[in-house]
């Protein structure tokens, strides 16, 4: 019996929906698929999506890594530094990619979809990018320190994404990784994504503590997945400086 055109149309729509749902499930669960688009890809990221992960355009601020604008250039500060309102505690910051489109989907993959396996390779890519070269040119007394995730986020994910990223950076550069050099204080803090800058700074004030024995007199490469306002990196760098670190550079996957 031949199905009616209406039934055939409904069946095709059902198949499309099932295929889309299956593709989404594979995206979430199968390591052999691209974390950004869901297509088959070795290493968790396909070449097409990698090509769409673009670095910040134009010259970048040597202090915080944000792209310069004409207005900010006239003031002598970049836009991010102007919005922050005071000098950052770190000496320099670099981001591999602009936090949008494919780069944003990739970050969401390992932060919210459990795609932990991409973090080591991404750390190695981050360590080898041209933008990072000035931060790692002098490796004497240089150590890698991840920005620790909040305890609740770490429990929900089952891992600390900045630590896994930092491990890839340290392995690629063949320098020490100090995962216990920096910790968050026990005081509760809300997730920082989307929080206005001034409020974020108040929340993060004294939110970190660094161990002097692990960073005093050393140069620290502080690693995080995303730098937005710079408030988290600033608070972490301030704690490292207080503990005796003589230089702090920030290396992030996206900004």
pLDDT < 50 positions in the chain? 3, 5, 8-29, 189
Angle between helical axes of 161-173 and 119-128 (0-180°, round to 10): 50
Residue 228 Cα distances to 38, 109, 115, angstroms: 26, 18, 22
- What per-residue confidence (pLDDT) applies to 196? 55
- What per-residue confidence (pLDDT) applies to 195? 55
Indicate the pTM of the whole model: 0.81
- What per-residue confidence (pLDDT) applies to 73? 56
Domain count, the chain: 2
- Please tell me the distance from the alpha carbon of residue 136 to that of residue 153, in angstroms, as a whole number: 29
**Alpha helices (H) in 30-118, listed in sequence order:** 47-52, 70-75, 79-84, 101-112
Same domain, 86 and 23: no
Same domain, 213 and 119: yes
Straight-line distance from the first to the last Cα atom of the chain, in angstroms, rounded to the nearest whole number: 59
Strand runs labelled E in 29-106: 92-97
What residue numbers bound the domain in which 34 lies? 9-51
- What per-residue confidence (pLDDT) applies to 6? 52
Same domain, 39 and 64: no
Same domain, 136 and 18: no
- What per-residue confidence (pLDDT) applies to 85? 86
- What per-residue confidence (pLDDT) applies to 218? 98
- What per-residue confidence (pLDDT) applies to 122? 95
For residue 124, the cross-strand partners are none
């Amino acid at each position: 019996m031949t199905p009616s055109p209406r039934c055939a149309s409904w069946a095709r729509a059902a198949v499309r929906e099932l295929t889309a749902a299956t593709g989404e499930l594979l995206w979430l669960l199968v390591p052999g698929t691209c974390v950004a688009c869901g297509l088959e890809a070795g290493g968790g990221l396909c070449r097409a999506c990698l090509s769409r992960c673009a670095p910040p355009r134009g010259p970048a601020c040597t202090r915080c890594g944000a792209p310069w604008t004409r207005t900010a250039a006239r003031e002598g500060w970049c836009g991010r530094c102007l919005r922050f309102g005071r000098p950052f505690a770190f000496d320099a910051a670099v981001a591999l990619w602009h936090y949008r489109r494919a780069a944003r989907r990739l970050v969401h993959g390992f932060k919210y979809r459990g795609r932990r396996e991409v973090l080591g390779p991404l750390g190695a890519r981050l360590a080898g990018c041209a933008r990072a070269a000035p931060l790692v040119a002098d490796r004497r007394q240089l150590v890698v320190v991840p920005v620790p995730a909040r305890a609740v986020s770490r429990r929900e994910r089952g891992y600390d994404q900045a630590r896994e990223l930092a491990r890839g950076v340290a392995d690629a550069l063949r320098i020490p990784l100090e995962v216990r050099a920096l910790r968050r204080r026990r005081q509760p803090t809300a997730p920082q994504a989307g929080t206005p800058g001034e409020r974020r700074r108040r929340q993060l004030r004294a939110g970190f503590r660094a161990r002097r024995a692990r960073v005093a007199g050393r140069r620290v490469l502080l690693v995080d997945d995303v730098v937005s306002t710079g408030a988290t990196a600033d608070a972490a760098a301030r704690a490292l400086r207080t503990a005796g670190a003589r230089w702090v550079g920030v290396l992030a996957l996206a900004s």
